[in-house]
């Protein structure tokens, strides 16, 4: 899915995690928010800006450390940061705090890598990216938008000297004729045009390319091939193209669990769905729930998918939050499906996410910006929760949003998504234990981007 969402912001929800129990002075002092964050100034240092002078070390201490792959420390962790990079991390008893360092200590908390949102639509709302930054999202990919549309965000980051977020852009979707979202697409009428669009976007700075579902198969294959030639990942919103064929051809990743709909439906139902969507793009909003409600996730079609997934290990960005249906939800306008079918369709989407995970797919996290059951800027948190209700462990969900997400970024993600010496200092500290209770991810206490502390109180209300 993409854009064209109604701008129904949840208003200025007071964000408890960002405003409770912190003194005005602490906010001013460290740009920090969150109950009980303690700043210990060990020397007269540049701690007012939350950033040491070049060469000065910053230290973050918390009882627990999730390093992007696993919970690595439970009895006192220390991370040492200098010049935007992590220089040491581990148990506090093993890692010395350099003399003169600015120390941020958070009790009853866990330090983890900054989260990476792989499905963020900026639209005309650059402030949303900054609000998400205050929620711990230190990097995002916008999977289908003209690169120049991000200029206002870049300008604001520069003018206000903000620390991040990191932007990973793709350029517009490459779609076929009758594009689903004309404003966010380039139309390729044949494989040669598709190939040229890849080169144009990569030349302009795209670090991944997104295939859109009306692109004919031969053109989609040409995109995958051109991406391989340029060394950038390819990703796709499929629905009416068969995921199995494109994964087999080397597609790096897939956006939306619904991209697998026609790969798990019976061939007859899949073809009906394809024809309906080809005739009218809008039919997929009902059609995908009907397709999933009927799908047999143990049937021959699904088993053929699992076999390919196990062999090729694609990244899967399920974006469950944008499809979430709860039994009490009111039916969308114009829907002809029963509430029960929609609920069942969503349940199967979650189930398929789990099956793909079990069969070796590399699950990542995409929040999708504005989703039915999350407040403003909270879609990534909701996605993480839904990954766990789908059946992933909380720790696997965190991995999806950190080290695995960084891997899907390709070359640009090399130093992201992990806490280890040499990695970028994009960090997050939350109250509690998100590796066992994922909702703790909402209890943001400290966000650091490229070694600089983020002003949660200011950005968290944008």
2 versus 197: smaller Cβ distance to Zn ion:
2
Stretch that binds Zn ion, among 149-157, 232-240, 299-307, 403-411 (CB under 5 A): 232-240
Reading the block at residue 323, the tokens are 């499809």
At CA 320, angle to CA 383 and CA 458, rounded to 5? Answer: 35
61 versus 123: smaller Cβ distance to Zn ion:
123
388 closest CA partner among 342, 437, 426: 437
255 versus 426: smaller Cβ distance to Zn ion:
255
Smallest distance from Zn ion to CB 132, Å: 15
Smallest distance from Zn ion to CB 122, Å: 11
Smallest distance from Zn ion to CB 114, Å: 22
At 256, phi and psi to the nearest 5?
Answer: 75, 130
Smallest distance from Zn ion to CB 256, Å: 6
- All residues at 6 or more sequence positions from 378 whose CB lies less than 8 Å from its CB, including other chains: 135, 442
Residue 337 binds to Zn ion (criterion: CB under 5 A): no
60 versus 139: smaller Cβ distance to Zn ion:
139
Stretch that binds Zn ion, among 29-37, 91-99, 234-242, 399-407 (CB under 5 A): 234-242
17 versus 223: smaller Cβ distance to Zn ion:
223
Alpha helices for 73-190 (secondary structure H): 126-134, 151-159
Count, residues near Zn ion per rule CB under 5 A: 3
80 versus 238: smaller Cβ distance to Zn ion:
238
Q: Taking the chain, what is the end-to-end CA distance rounded to the nearest angstrom? A: 25
- All residues at 6 or more sequence positions from 441 whose CB lies less than 8 Å from its CB, including other chains: 115, 136, 381, 384, 398, 430, 434
Residue 404 binds to Zn ion (criterion: CB under 5 A): no
Alpha helices for 114-189 (secondary structure H): 126-134, 151-159
140 closest CA partner among 158, 122, 167, 173: 167
195 versus 214: smaller Cβ distance to Zn ion:
214
Question: Pattern 363-402, binding to Zn ion, x per CB under 5 A?
Answer: ----------------------------------------
- All residues at 6 or more sequence positions from 157 whose CB lies less than 8 Å from its CB, including other chains: 164
Smallest distance from Zn ion to CB 1, Å: 4
Residue 1 binds to Zn ion (criterion: CB under 5 A): yes
Torsion angle, CA of 182/183/184/186, rounded to 10 degrees?
A: 60
DSSP character for 180? Answer: S
**Binding residues among 237-256 for Zn ion as defined by CB under 5 A:** 237
212 versus 381: smaller Cβ distance to Zn ion:
212
Stretch that binds Zn ion, among 1-9, 30-38, 182-190, 267-275 (CB under 5 A): 1-9
105 versus 141: smaller Cβ distance to Zn ion:
141
Stretch that binds Zn ion, among 37-45, 236-244, 281-289, 323-331 (CB under 5 A): 236-244
Reading the block at residue 309, the tokens are 């997934």
- Decide: 65 and 76 in contact? Cβ < 8 Å: no
CA 142 from chain centre, in angstroms, equals 9
Stretch that binds Zn ion, among 215-223, 231-239, 404-412, 420-428 (CB under 5 A): 231-239
Chain residues binding Zn ion by CB under 5 A are: 1-2, 237
């Amino acid at each position: 899915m993409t854009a064209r969402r109604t701008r129904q912001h949840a208003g200025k929800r007071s964000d408890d995690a960002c405003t409770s129990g912190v003194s005005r002075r602490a906010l001013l002092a460290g740009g920090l928010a969150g109950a009980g964050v303690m700043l210990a100034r060990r020397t007269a240092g540049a701690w007012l800006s939350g950033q040491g002078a070049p060469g000065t070390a910053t230290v973050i201490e918390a009882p627990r450390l999730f390093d992007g792959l696993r919970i690595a420390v439970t009895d006192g962790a220390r991370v040492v940061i200098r010049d935007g990079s992590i220089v040491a991390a581990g148990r506090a008893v093993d890692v010395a705090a350099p003399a003169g360092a600015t120390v941020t200590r958070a009790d009853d908390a866990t330090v983890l890598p900054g989260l990476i949102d792989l499905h963020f639509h900026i639209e005309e709302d650059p402030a949303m990216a900054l609000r998400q930054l205050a929620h711990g999202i230190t990097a995002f990919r916008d999977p289908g938008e003209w690169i120049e549309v991000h200029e206002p965000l870049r300008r604001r980051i520069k003018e206000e000297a903000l620390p991040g977020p990191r932007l990973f852009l793709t350029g517009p979707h490459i779609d076929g004729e009758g594009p689903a979202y004309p404003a966010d697409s380039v139309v390729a009428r044949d494989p040669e045009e598709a190939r040229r669009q890849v080169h144009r976007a990569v030349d302009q700075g795209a670090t991944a390319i997104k295939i859109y579902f009306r692109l004919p198969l031969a053109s989609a294959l040409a995109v995958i091939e051109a991406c391989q030639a340029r060394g950038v990942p390819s990703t796709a919103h499929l629905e009416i193209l068969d995921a199995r064929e494109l994964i087999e051809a080397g597609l790096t990743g897939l956006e939306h669990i619904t991209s697998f709909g026609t790969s798990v439906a019976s061939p007859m139902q899949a073809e009906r769905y394809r024809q309906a969507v080809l005739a009218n793009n809008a039919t997929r909003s009902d059609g995908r729930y009907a397709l999933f409600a009927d799908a047999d996730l143990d049937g021959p079609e699904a088993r053929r998918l699992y076999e390919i997934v196990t062999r090729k290990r694609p990244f899967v960005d399920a974006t469950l939050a944008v499809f979430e249906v709860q039994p009490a939800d009111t039916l969308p306008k114009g829907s002809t499906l029963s509430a029960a079918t929609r609920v069942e369709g969503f349940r199967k989407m979650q189930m398929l996410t789990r099956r793909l995970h079990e069969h070796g797919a590399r699950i990542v996290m995409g929040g999708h910006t504005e989703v039915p059951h999350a407040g403003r800027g909270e879609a990534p948190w909701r996605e993480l929760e839904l990954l766990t209700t789908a059946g992933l462990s909380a720790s696997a969900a965190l991995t999806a949003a950190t080290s695995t997400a960084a891997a899907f970024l390709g070359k640009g993600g090399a130093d992201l998504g992990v806490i280890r010496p040499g990695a970028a200092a994009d960090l997050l500290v939350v109250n509690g234990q998100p590796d066992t209770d994922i909702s703790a991810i909402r209890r943001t206490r400290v966000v650091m981007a490229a070694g600089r502390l983020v002003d949660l109180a200011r950005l968290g209300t944008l």
